[in-house]
Structure 1
Amino acid sequence: MAQEAEAAVEAVTPDAALAAANEAKFLVNNLWIMLAGCLVFIMHLGFATVESGLSASKNTVNILFKNAMIICIGFLTYALCGFNIMYPGDFNGYFTMSAVSGFISRPLDDPSLMTSAYADYTWYTDFFFQAVFAATAATIVSGAVAGRIKLGPFLVFSTIFVAICYPITGSWKWGGGFLDELGFYDFAGSTLVHSVGGWGALVMAILVGPRLGKFNADGSANAIPGHNLTLACIGVFLLWFGWFGFNGGSVLSADPGLVSLVLVTTSMAAAAGGVATGLASWIFGGKPDLSMSLNGILAGLVGITAGADQMVVWESVLIGLIAGVLVYFSVLFVDKLRVDDPVGAISVHLVCGIWGTLAVGIFGALASPAQIGYQLAGIGAIGAFTVVFTLIVGIAIKATIGLRVSDAEQVEGLDLGEHNAECYPDFQPAVVEA
């Protein structure tokens, strides 16, 4: 018996042990990245509840429908062409249009799909994780144009934005393009996801115009409060929860040291952002503002996303604090510009996305004057392309099928005007008897 056991031990060669360890690593990596993708998927519920909670009740069905369709469109268009555009392999570093059916036509027995011949995870794991990211950029735009954009034109815009704009800019860094070669760094997408969505939100909010009653003749802004801050609060916590997958999954492995660091820096930045915005609203506004504080949490999350793997804890706190202050004053400044942003998407995703990207050159392991230059180059290149792309698409849609609903439909609400449905059909005006 003892001799048989010794023989079995001797049969386990170093090569066999290494192969077993690699197989276990491959399995764990796939499980973690797929789980992270599921967490990111939950973020779309968070976006839907934040946007609906911060908007008028008469537009709730419209907002929920938009958010549901964005994720559906995102999966289909990313499979059709977006994934290939974003990860084309060898290309000129600026632009490529791979075969449209390149992803969905691959044979199931292709070893690159299901084994470590592709990477430390399967092709399908990679696609799933990246696809749930893709729709996020269009979801950001949705919040900035809520309450006055036509449904059909918005869905046309979202399809083009997710299928072409987001993958092209993403390829410049994550696909091995010229920004990657330059040294630009964006760990999980402060610029590549959030600023892309933020630039799109800014342009589309300008093109579609403000909601009725938002601005007075003298340029001053009127508050149009959301109908359900409970929904908005739930949405922010769902987003924070999903961000553990957004940033943690971007490690692209189950490395316990790095994943745990990323989860801690992500949480600390979010907490600091919420505290900073809450204090800013209390000090400068006279009362603590819940909706501002919720956006402060999101600001901290967006701010840390570019460098969550490069920061120590105190640096993540500082990044979150600055993001929280920035988002407070940015919301006020956007109103001064007479740009109507019902949920603060421009301030949260664009302004804090830019800040988080710059922070990689100021704090953390990569901090240096040269890195600041690389970060500025990436911010400028991606911002310029996204603005021009969105202008072309937005103006074309506006000139053909239109962007804005009628004033009468705004007053009635997009739920009835666009869907002939009400989210709260049992709600009745309160009757007070004398």
Structure 2
Amino acid sequence: MELSELSRGLDTIWVVLTAAMILLMEGGFALLEAGFVRQKNAVSIIMKVFVDIAFGALVFYFFGFAIMYGKDVSGLFGTSGFLLSGDLSHIVLNISHETYWLFQCAFVIAVISIVSGAVAERIHFRAYILLTIAMTGLIYPLAGHWVWSTGGWLGKLGMIDFAGSAVIHALGGFAALAAAIFVGPRIGKFSPDGKVNIVSPSNLPLASVGAFILWFGWFGFNAGSTLSATNTSIGHIAVTTMLSAAAGGATCILFTMFRYKKADPPMVINGSLAGLVGITAGCAFVSDGAAIFIGAICGIMMVLATEYMESKKIDDPVGAFAVHGISGSIGTLALGLFAKPELAGEVGQGYYGLFYGGGLKLLGVQALGLVTVSVWGFVFTWGVLWLIRKIMPVRVSKDEELIGLDVGIHGVPAYSYDTDFLDVDRLKSGN
């Protein structure tokens, strides 16, 4: 076997394995969100995750991948690669186009899963299917094309986003914000006098396991983005990923102990995830110390953003915007400050961080890209939901919400008891 064939085989195995790790993160999303919501809506969460995977994969295969990575038109969108056919010669990698599609498919599924949690417990299932199709087929692929494709206009300007703090997390976070505002808060979350009512999570141990699975999958998310099993930066990427996540969790423990006089478990869970989100853009390009700093800032800002969201009467049951929108923004901008010349100088336009003498060029490009994808995610998601509302309800009925989406929409509770027999028809009727 020639060395080139061996290298291609190793890279293929690496990319497939890391794609599988990223797909496993859907199990993490399922457990995390099911643990954060009430018992009566746990099945609803699981069903939405299946929508993410099933519809997301098919839509991305049929046309999402082509729009994102197809032959470029004016730096805006692609026009080849529908059903993985046509001219994809511009994608020059050491793996097949099918293998590359699989890895990117795992990414697109993660994007819509961010939005899922923000509208938990009140979005209508049919409306969510349509939103998933729009997100995986158009909203994310277009933003991804601008940054990651050959010829994308933000990429040509020099924007760096190694594994997606902006393209995946900021985009998904601001889309989640738009969806949460559009759908409105859960019944009883806010009192008429403005008081914020606590909706207790149903199962924090379950949510914790979900976070640990996400943490595990993130090593595939970040290190897998090398697309090469022999890339010597894999170890560094894994270390910065670990340190940022740990800093986010540790900072949340200390910050909530100071702020609330006790360590807040949901905040600590989300703090670790915030650290993971924040380091995703620069995991290959910043030092270990910078990774710790980024994770710590993301952890603190996640807590403050969660409080701000509630003060503005925006109901986000799992903290999707605070974790992904805010931390994704911080991570994207932090790269403009901390990117080391020896690590980032060969990508983009050769720009590197302000703190290393790189000036404002990279920071300016990062800011432009962040604003672009964030506004795009927010505005287009709002527009899609507005169009969906013209043809069907976006939000479930009051009775369905009070009964719970598990029984009200899917006709089955998440948990059954041997000695109890539930009359589903009676529960649906509210009698």
Q: Same fold (TM over 0.5)?
A: yes
Matches within 5 A, 1:183-202: 183-202=158-177
Kindly state the Cα deviation for residue 123 of structure 1 after the two structures are TM-superposed: 1.0
Aligned counterpart in structure 2 of residue 306 of structure 1, from 267, 274, 281: 281
Matches within 5 A, 1:380-391: 380-391=371-382
| Dislocated runs of 4+, deviation >3 Å | 110-113
Structure 1 residues 35 and 337, CA gap change in structure 2 (3 angstroms): same
Mark the runs of 5 or more structure 2 residues left unpaired by the alignment: 341-351, 355-359, 421-431
Kindly state the Cα deviation for residue 428 of structure 1 after the two structures are TM-superposed: 7.8
Task: Report the AA paired with residue 108 of structure 2.
Answer: A
Aligned counterpart in structure 2 of residue 404 of structure 1, from 395, 410, 414: 395
Kindly state the Cα deviation for residue 257 of structure 1 after the two structures are TM-superposed: 2.3
**Structure number, greater radius of gyration:** 1
Q: Report the identity percentage.
A: 38
Q: What residue number does 1:124 align with?
A: 98
Task: Report the AA paired with residue 367 of structure 1.
Answer: G
Kindly state the Cα deviation for residue 348 of structure 1 after the two structures are TM-superposed: 0.2
Paired residues of 1:112 and 1:122 also in contact (CA < 8 A) = no
State the secondary structure of the residue aligned to 2:83: coil
TM-score of the pair, normalised by structure 2: 0.90
Does residue 1:92 correspond to 2:54, yes or no?
no
Aligned counterpart in structure 2 of residue 142 of structure 1, from 116, 120, 124: 116
For residues 273 and 305 of structure 2, the distance between their equivalents in structure 1, rounded to whole angstroms, comes to 14
Q: What residue number does 2:423 align with?
A: none
Structure 1 residues 212 and 143, CA gap change in structure 2 (3 angstroms): same
**What are the Cα deviations for residues 185-219 of structure 1, in whole angstroms up to 9, with x where unaligned?**
10000010011111110001011000011112232
Q: What residue number does 1:58 align with?
A: 40
**What are the Cα deviations for residues 152-195 of structure 1, in whole angstroms up to 9, with x where unaligned?**
00111111111111000000011130000111110000010011
Task: Report the AA paired with residue 283 of structure 1.
Answer: F
For residues 111 and 235 of structure 1, the distance between their equivalents in structure 2, rounded to whole angstroms, comes to 37
Q: What residue number does 2:156 align with?
A: 181
For residues 420 and 90 of structure 1, the distance between their equivalents in structure 2, rounded to whole angstroms, comes to 46
Superposed CA RMSD: 1.8
State the secondary structure of the residue aligned to 2:73: coil
Matches within 5 A, 1:24-39: 24-39=6-21
For residues 199 and 235 of structure 1, the distance between their equivalents in structure 2, rounded to whole angstroms, comes to 22
Matches within 5 A, 1:252-263: 252-263=227-238
Matches within 5 A, 1:75-86: 75-86=57-68
Task: Report the AA paired with residue 207 of structure 2.
Answer: A
State the secondary structure of the residue aligned to 1:141: helix
For residues 248 and 58 of structure 2, the distance between their equivalents in structure 1, rounded to whole angstroms, comes to 35
For residues 201 and 213 of structure 1, the distance between their equivalents in structure 2, rounded to whole angstroms, comes to 21
Paired residues of 1:37 and 1:128 also in contact (CA < 8 A) = yes
Task: Report the AA paired with residue 169 of structure 1.
Answer: A
Kindly state the Cα deviation for residue 111 of structure 1 after the two structures are TM-superposed: 11
Structure 1 residues 317 and 111, CA gap change in structure 2 (3 angstroms): closer
For residues 242 and 377 of structure 1, the distance between their equivalents in structure 2, rounded to whole angstroms, comes to 29
For residues 105 and 24 of structure 2, the distance between their equivalents in structure 1, rounded to whole angstroms, comes to 13
Paired residues of 1:112 and 1:123 also in contact (CA < 8 A) = no
Task: Report the AA paired with residue 144 of structure 1.
Answer: A
State the secondary structure of the residue aligned to 1:103: helix
Paired residues of 1:194 and 1:349 also in contact (CA < 8 A) = yes
Matches within 5 A, 1:369-384: 369-384=360-375
**What are the Cα deviations for residues 342-365 of structure 1, in whole angstroms up to 9, with x where unaligned?**
000010000000000000001121
**What are the Cα deviations for residues 259-287 of structure 1, in whole angstroms up to 9, with x where unaligned?**
11000000000000000111111110111
Mark the runs of 5 or more structure 1 residues left unpaired by the alignment: 1-18, 430-434
Q: What residue number does 2:345 align with?
A: none
Kindly state the Cα deviation for residue 103 of structure 1 after the two structures are TM-superposed: 2.7
Task: Report the AA paired with residue 233 of structure 1.
Answer: S
For residues 83 and 393 of structure 2, the distance between their equivalents in structure 1, rounded to whole angstroms, comes to 33
Aligned counterpart in structure 1 of residue 353 of structure 2, from 357, 360, 367: 367
Kindly state the Cα deviation for residue 104 of structure 1 after the two structures are TM-superposed: 4.3
Kindly state the Cα deviation for residue 427 of structure 1 after the two structures are TM-superposed: 8.1
For residues 111 and 414 of structure 1, the distance between their equivalents in structure 2, rounded to whole angstroms, comes to 43
Q: What residue number does 1:432 align with?
A: none
Aligned counterpart in structure 2 of residue 69 of structure 1, from 43, 51, 67: 51
